[in-house]
């Protein structure tokens, strides 16, 4: 009788073992014990029968895999988490085609502009795939994708979905898209004078026509955001250069405002101009103090030396 019960009991035990829930891996504790550091965020996942854990410390991203019940390091790199919240909220081990990937984000930020970088790292090859979203701080909207990431459809679609769902990616409102709105005066100027910076760089034309849109409201306040202002004045115009921003002119005769110049880069802001005549303004390079070009407000042209 006892022998007859053995086989059913073995079958029951095997079935129970197969469907018994696997104990959850405490990734943070494993990493903290191994490295004696505080783990700010962690994740674990089993991919194709292999256990992986990942964690972010104050300055490192660490990934381990379980080999014969021993946690072995497969990645230990600087975290680049200048925005910890953005970085920590993203940490996840993902799976594509039975291969493990680490998903993590970071913000590459300068003083005026930055790029949100959405990343998948193949934990087998250490190959990285990225989608970047760049722009001024709090206005990250320009999507940048390299050809290799775009060619990998599954990874590209995954990262693009993350971009589309991110609260940090800027999505223009109807007001932002209104070219007539004074807040968008710099954008309007760049549209009206498309290619101006390239024309200056190439230097084929010595006189380049400019278009100016006039506004009957003050442009300095909405465009400066409290930034430092440099002001220049003559009897016809009052000109304000905004730190890391555009140059705004006020016509004392017509009593209206217009954008005089928008630098190609925020780091090329204008710190020095001269009035060559009552209606001609000379711009200087901020770094070497050399004259770069003149803008003639009678003919609405930019003149190169």
User: Which pLDDT tens digit goes with each residue over 148-195?
Assistant: 999 999 999 999 999 999 888 888 777 766 778 888 898 899 889 988
Separation between Cα atoms, residue 91 and residue 89, nearest integer Å: 6
Given a cut of 90, whether residue 114 has pLDDT beyond it is: no
* Spatial strand order in the sheet of 128-136: 92-96, 99-109, 113-122, 128-136, 142-145
Query: Do residues 144 and 134 make contact, with C-beta atoms less than 8 angstroms apart?
Result: yes
Which residues are CB-contacts of 229 (< 8 A; sequence separation ≥ 6)? 220, 240, 241, 242, 243
Per-residue pLDDT band at 10 (split at 50, 70, 90):
low
Neighbours of 150 (CB within 10 A): 14
Q: Delimit the domains of the chain by residue range.
A: 25-165, 182-304
CA distances from 74 to 21, 104, 259 (A): 27, 16, 54
Here the tokens at position 56 are 């972010």
Q: Name the residue with tokens 């880069």.
A: 265
The helix/strand/coil state of 53 is strand
User: Which pLDDT tens digit goes with each residue over 87-102?
Assistant: 667 889 999 989 999 9
Supply the DSSP symbol for 247.
E
């Amino acid at each position: 009788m006892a022998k007859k019960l053995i086989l059913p009991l073995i079958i029951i035990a095997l079935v129970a073992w197969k469907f018994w829930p696997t104990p959850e891996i405490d990734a943070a504790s494993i990493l903290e014990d191994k490295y004696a550091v505080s783990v700010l965020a962690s994740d674990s996942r089993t991919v194709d029968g292999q256990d992986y854990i990942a964690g972010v410390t104050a300055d490192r991203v660490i990934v381990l895999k379980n080999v014969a019940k021993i946690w072995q390091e497969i990645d230990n790199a600087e975290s680049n988490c200048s925005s910890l919240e953005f970085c920590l909220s993203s940490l996840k081990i993902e799976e594509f085609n039975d291969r493990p990937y680490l998903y993590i984000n970071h913000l590459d930020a300068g003083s005026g502009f930055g790029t949100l970088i959405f990343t998948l790292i193949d934990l087998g090859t250490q190959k990285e795939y990225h989608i970047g979203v760049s722009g001024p701080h709090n206005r990250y909207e320009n999507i940048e994708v390299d050809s290799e990431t775009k060619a990998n459809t599954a990874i590209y679609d995954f990262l693009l979905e993350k971009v589309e769902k991110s609260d940090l990616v800027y999505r223009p409102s109807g007001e932002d898209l209104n070219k007539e709105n004074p807040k968008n005066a710099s954008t309007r100027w760049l549209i009206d004078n498309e290619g101006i910076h390239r024309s200056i760089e190439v230097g084929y034309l010595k006189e380049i026509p400019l278009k100016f849109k006039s506004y009957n409201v003050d442009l300095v306040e909405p465009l400066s955001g409290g930034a430092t202002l440099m002001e220049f004045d003559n009897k016809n115009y009052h000109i304000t250069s905004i730190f890391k921003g555009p140059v705004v002119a006020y016509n004392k005769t017509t009593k209206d405002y217009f954008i005089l110049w928008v630098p190609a880069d925020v780091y090329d802001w204008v710190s020095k101009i001269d009035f060559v005549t009552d209606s001609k303004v000379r711009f200087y390079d901020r770094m070497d103090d050399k004259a770069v070009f003149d803008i003639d407000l009678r003919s609405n042209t930019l003149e190169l030396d």
